[in-house]
Amino acid sequence: GAGVSQSPSNKVTEKGKDVELRCDPISGHTALYWYRQSLGQGLEFLIYFQGNSAPDKSGLPSDRFSAERTGGSVSTLTIQRTQQEDSAVYLCASSFSPGLPRGNEQFFGPGTRLTVL
Amino acid sequence: GESVGLHLPTLSVQEGDNSIINCAYSNSASDYFIWYKQESGKGPQFIIDIRSNMDKRQGQRVTVLLNKTVKHLSLQIAATQPGDSAVYFCAENKGNTPLVFGKGTRLSVIA
């Protein structure tokens, strides 16, 4: 597709369940980012993948959060044993390699709205 | 930790007037700055960016100003339109590090 896509667009789950959120980046983009946005708040960085390098996981709030990026393209963010405070919009972004021309510009997907009951 | 913040959380502007959205950053080493616009229910969209070797950059109806001396970034929107109503985020980084986003300013355009 032409842009970053995310699925599902909405996810309602019960406390304690695991959820998986998917991100399809723009073809050719080597960098992929996950952010969390709580209601009325800014973007909280979660994790960053760049090519084949080890991901930067410094923003993950707890060990219940993990992410994978298979084949350098699609990424899945997994939240285990969800809690009510995990309710937020989870945004994915991709970019060319940072440091290259236009590499700093991140293109965002529409997000997945997660509601934990 | 170092972060990017905003002076005002909300801004109301009359249609046709110019809007100025401000942003303060604390990392003096940052060399790249970017403004995003986020409409309700959508992901942020790129508006304009600027590198630290510049102090002004213009786009279509938008201008970004960078004052490195006081670590201040602003976004100016000329002739604000109802479609400009959104939350605006500034973000900054250095080199290959992830962007650090501010909390955002909600711009409301009064018709």
Give tens-digit pLDDT for B21-67: 999 988 899 999 999 999 988 999 999 999 999 999 999 999 999 99
B67-101 pLDDT, tens per residue? 999 999 999 999 999 999 999 999 998 877 788 88
Q: Other CB atoms closer than 10 Å to residue B84's CB: what's the count?
A: 19
Q: Note the pLDDT of residue B61.
A: 96
Instruction: Provide the pLDDT confidence category of residue A70 given band limits of 50, 70 and 90.
Output: confident
Q: What are B's interface residues with A at a Cβ cutoff of 8 A?
A: 32, 34, 36, 41-46, 49, 89, 91, 93, 95-104
Q: Which of A106, A112, A113 to mutate to test the interface with B (most CBs of B within 10 A)?
A: A106
Q: Note the pLDDT of residue B26.
A: 82
d(CA B41, CA A116): 18
d(CA B23, CA B71): 9
Look at residue A75 and tell me whether its pLDDT is greater than 90.
yes
Give the pLDDT mean for A25-38: 93
Query: Percent of chain A, pLDDT > 90?
Result: 74
Give the pLDDT mean for A77-90: 97
Contacts of B102 in chain A (CB under 8 A): 42
Give the pLDDT mean for A9-16: 97
Q: Other CB atoms closer than 10 Å to residue B81's CB: what's the count?
A: 13
Say how many CB pairs under 8 Å bridge A and B: 53
Contacts of B103 in chain A (CB under 8 A): 41-42
Q: Note the pLDDT of residue B4.
A: 56
